A and B are shown apart, each in its own frame.
Chain A
Amino acid sequence: KAGVTQTPRYLIKTRGQQVTLSCSPISGHRSVSWYQQTPGQGLQFLFEYFSETQRNKGNFPGRFSGRQFSNSRSEMNVSTLELGDSALYLCASSLVADSNYGYTFGSGTRLTVV
């Protein structure tokens, strides 16, 4: 059974550019959530999608957005990149929109903004 797949694994972008990250959840999982991990702020929740609808959103500026497709694959987009957006972005999938079932995380996309 394939795990959660995140692409690309590594990315280097210049300030002011935009970036799109992709996450393919485990087959059958309908909930996808995104987290940002930085040395200074730790792991922070970005947003969660379930059946193509954003159910929860963390405390991030509007430059951070996402969407989920009918096949449950999700993308997140960051526009007008800042140096502080350099981070490991993690995607997690869950069978249902209930955390009591636990999460499976992908290996992450490491974004470096220069």
Chain B
Amino acid sequence: SQQGEEDPQALSIQEGENATMNCSYKTSINNLQWYRQNSGRGLVHLILIRSNEREKHSGRLRVTLDTSKKSSSLLITASRAADTASYFCATDARYNAGNMLTFGGGTRLMVKP
């Protein structure tokens, strides 16, 4: 079963615009991670935010986490055609008990040149 739901399921924007994807989850978490997947290939780790953090930046990426609302958002600024991919949020609800990520359904982002 999937812990998270992502919104929107699909997003189409023009190059240079910002893209915002949202993720909601159900249980308390240890951390939340965002991944990118190009055309059914492997997942690329983008950014990790811990439960005691509220915002994190990495290059053109900005992630926020609101544990009271059990939600997170990923903002990609100044998007490029190369950002076209599926984006997944994943949560880990286990504390010091090994690795087990629960993924959302993903957002398909298309950036038009």
For the complex, is B48 an interface residue (Cβ under 8 Å from A)?
yes
What residues on A are CB-neighbors of B103 within 8 Å? 35, 42-44
The binding surface of chain B is classed by DSSP as loop
In Å, the complex CA distance between A48 and B98 comes to 8
| A 56-114 contacts with B by CB, 8 A | 56, 58-59, 88, 90, 92, 94, 97-100, 102-108, 110
B99 contacts A33, CB within 8 Å? yes
B99 contacts A106, CB within 8 Å? no
Q: Which residue of B lies closest to A93 (CB)?
A: B99
Contacts A42-B103, A102-B33, A102-B48; is A55 near B98 (CB within 8 Å)?
yes
For the complex, is A22 an interface residue (Cβ under 8 Å from B)?
no
In Å, the complex CA distance between A97 and B98 comes to 5
- Sort chain A's interface into a size bin: 20 to 34
For the complex, is B82 an interface residue (Cβ under 8 Å from A)?
no
What residues on B are CB-neighbors of A45 within 8 Å? 100-102
Closest A-B pairs by Cβ, 7 of them: A55-B98, A43-B103, A99-B92, A105-B43, A107-B42, A105-B42, A56-B100
